Structure 1
Amino acid sequence: MDKKNYIVLKTDKDLKIVMSPVRQKLIRVMRNEGKPVTAKFVADKLEISPSSAQHHIKKLEQVGIIEFDHNEIINGITARYLRVTEKTVSIGQDIDDDLTAERDILARNVLSTVYDSYKRMIDENRHLLSEEFKKGNKFADQLTGIVHLSTEEANELFDIIDDYLKKHSKASENSHPYEYALVAYRADLKDGKSEI
């Protein structure tokens, strides 16, 4: 794992910035778009004022989640384009401090948001999904289970997944946004010891 490609939310301030529901929606909108966008684009998508969008973007820039991409002149006005950083954001669940409750709330909210969107899409498109699955096309899927890995293999798997996701984080002409939430943990740890 390359630490410089990670943003770890270590402080109460960082967690509060990311815990904002508007900011979480803002990040999702930008990730879903898959290319640099303006604050006006975000404001329109979230149905908030451009100044409010700009405020939330500045907060996320402070943490390093949003970054400047480029400027374009549109009708004589300089438009500032921003993007979600390619760094992996960790909420710091491995940090033993007094922010455990806040981290848990953020983790639950992120997972719940992805599941709720997944469920809504399934409910609205069940017939289409069924027909496409018969053709071998997967628009949605949910995988659960257990794999048995050494520590080295687990690290390798995390790196493979992280690299693959980063490689496909930008939209292309023939791509579609697939939202995901991956949870993986060592299931045999109890009170810091292996269960055998």
Structure 2
Amino acid sequence: MSERKMITLATRKQMDIYMNPQRQRLLRALEVSGVPMTPKQLSDVLKISASSVSLHIRKLEELGLVALDHTESIHGIQAKFYQKLPVSVSLGGNREDDLKEERTCLSDYLITELWNGFKDRLNRVKDKTDAMTTGDFTCGVVHLNKKDADELYHLILDFTETHEAPGEDTIPWEYGLVVFPHSPLPEEKGE
């Protein structure tokens, strides 16, 4: 498997581009559709103007998250189709800089949007007995040594990367994963 491109949000400009809620919705729409879309198609999904979508696309192109896939002539008009690039974004949570508060707000927003989407799905589904229909939520603690933790992390990344593109008989599944070691930090141990 090839090394996936990772963008770490290191500057205020990058953070400002990425943390815009409309841009987050636009990225999600492209990921869920799994196919390139025009600004007009995205405007119909997002319920905002096509010119606003085009502005957001330009910003996301600047960050390296979206790119022009192709153009087609539709009723004599050249339509531009954009795709979400196979790029992971690191919020840079391990960085010590003046963007710590923005990173926290963005993390809260992303987790809340994911959780609200899950709750909305639960409310809309009639048969709530099948996790393959409703989705599922689970949490707990696993005991891992460094080797096992690294293996689990890469298994998850490899699995999700392998399944990002739509395939025959697939539907998009949204996911979120938060993992962290529960061991005391060195400063908490008095080291």
Q: Please, what TM-score do these two structures have when normalized by structure 2?
A: 0.90
**Aligned-pair Cα RMSD in Å:** 2.2
In the TM superposition, residue 129 of structure 1 has moved relative to its aligned partner by 2.5
Query: What is the aligned-residue identity percentage?
Result: 32
In the TM superposition, residue 138 of structure 1 has moved relative to its aligned partner by 5.0
Alpha carbons 1:188, 1:194 under 8 Å: kept: no
The match for 2:136 is 141
Alpha carbons 2:27, 2:84 under 8 Å: kept: yes
Listed as ranges, the matches of 1:89-168 within 5 Å are: 89-125=89-125, 127-130=126-129, 132-133=130-131, 137=132, 139-168=134-163
The match for 1:59 is 59
Alpha carbons 1:26, 1:42 under 8 Å: kept: yes
Determine the C-alpha separation between the residues in 1 that align with 2:19 and 2:60. Answer: 11
Determine the C-alpha separation between the residues in 2 that align with 1:72 and 1:96. Answer: 46
Distance 1:152 1:53, change over 3 A: same
Q: Structure 2 unaligned segments of length 5 or more: list them.
A: none
Alpha carbons 2:70, 2:82 under 8 Å: kept: yes
Q: Cα deviation per residue 1:133-164 (whole Å; 9 max; x = unaligned)?
A: 5xxx4540112111122223222222221121
The one-letter amino acid of 2:115's match is Y
Determine the C-alpha separation between the residues in 2 that align with 1:55 and 1:194. Answer: 50
Determine the C-alpha separation between the residues in 2 that align with 1:151 and 1:84. Answer: 33
Alpha carbons 1:171, 1:177 under 8 Å: kept: yes
The match for 1:48 is 48
Alpha carbons 2:66, 2:83 under 8 Å: kept: yes
Q: Please, what TM-score do these two structures have when normalized by structure 1?
A: 0.88
Listed as ranges, the matches of 1:13-52 within 5 Å are: 13-52=13-52
Task: Name which of structure 1's ranges 76-85 and 89-98 shifts more when overlaid on structure 2.
Answer: 76-85
The match for 1:84 is 84
Determine the C-alpha separation between the residues in 2 that align with 1:81 and 1:57. Answer: 11
Distance 1:151 1:110, change over 3 A: same
